[in-house]
Structure 1
Amino acid sequence: MDDKRLRELLPKVREGEERATHELFQDLIYPVSGKCVSSWKFDPDTRADLVQDATIKVLKGLPKFRGKTVGEMQSFVWQTGKRVVIDYIRKQESKPEETSPDERYMTSNNGVWPSHNGDDPSVPIETEDLIRKALDELERQRPDCLKTLTRIVTECESIRELAEKIGRTGGATRVHLHDCRKVLKAILKRLSG
């Protein structure tokens, strides 16, 4: 699907035309929702339910969507899917659980809270523990840096998008991100050596 086709479909979807909604659902909403939810580890039934919930929320939110490009639409769908997953995780964490959230939900490819669950034998447990300690230390010293690094890894696809979220200019965001990386690197160096 290209931007032109999306601009043709959105008004029809807002009017409730079924064919346009189906095409948008099939070509864009369902695949992106599925990829978003699949980036977390859930059993197939839970994953299917979460994709369905995310898709329903996206369809309900379409009348208020003001984007004009496929990229903006993909970001909207991804953010909605991510919110559905986070809400589900929070709801599950409020219940007593047998396993930790690290083992159940976080994947080793999300770059923030890796968990040694046998997926990547090339990463030793000691390295993951070191990263966890460094992130905890970073949260104590500079919570703004942890928030920025988490956002760039999990939410934002570009410096410009991150700048909009944290309310800075692009250049100031680059400098802030560089400083955050330096602080994290120094903490890692101190903890490892």
Structure 2
Amino acid sequence: MKPIRRQQLIDAAIASIHEHGFSSATVARIARKAGVSTGIVHHYFTDKTDLLAATMRAMLDVLRREAVERMRSAKTPTDRIYAIIHASYGDAQFAEEVFSAWLALYGNARESEKLQRILRIYHRRLHSNLVHSLIPLIGRERAPDVALGIGALIDGLWLRYALTGRPVDAEVPRAMTRAYADAMIAA
């Protein structure tokens, strides 16, 4: 029951952030959205920050699972890079409520050590996976810089779409990021 209830509260947090914004997504609103008392929220999470950190971890876990699933079927290092790119712009990441939650959590991470730590782990994992796939293609010396560029493009395009509206087709940012990766590999 505990994992189900936690996920219910995380889903309610995502919906509340989308509907009311980060600051107005109070524990009371999140509890109401989940159809539970605030006491239940505090039974599973120490405070709002703890719930929001769990929300960020859950969203990153969805991203990680999709990336791992796609990388398992990759046959070449380039396929692995494409798998990471595809997962980064996956349907789950482009859901409207998730878009809002990501934007709010990223924006508020500067004021939360917990959220900063989770983002650092995500960025290190993304960078490491890209570097690992790039080394056989361009060598150990260039791989970190190219991985940084791919990661920055993923984050930058994602942020651009989050601020201006989702792309009609997620294939557009995927294609742009693959083209950048291909150009850097060919250089």
**TM-score (normalizing by structure 1):** 0.30
Tell me which of the two structures has the higher relative contact order, counting C-alpha pairs closer than 8 angstroms and 6 or more residues apart: 2
Which structure: larger Rg? 1
**TM-score (normalizing by structure 2):** 0.31
Richer in helix (by share)? 2
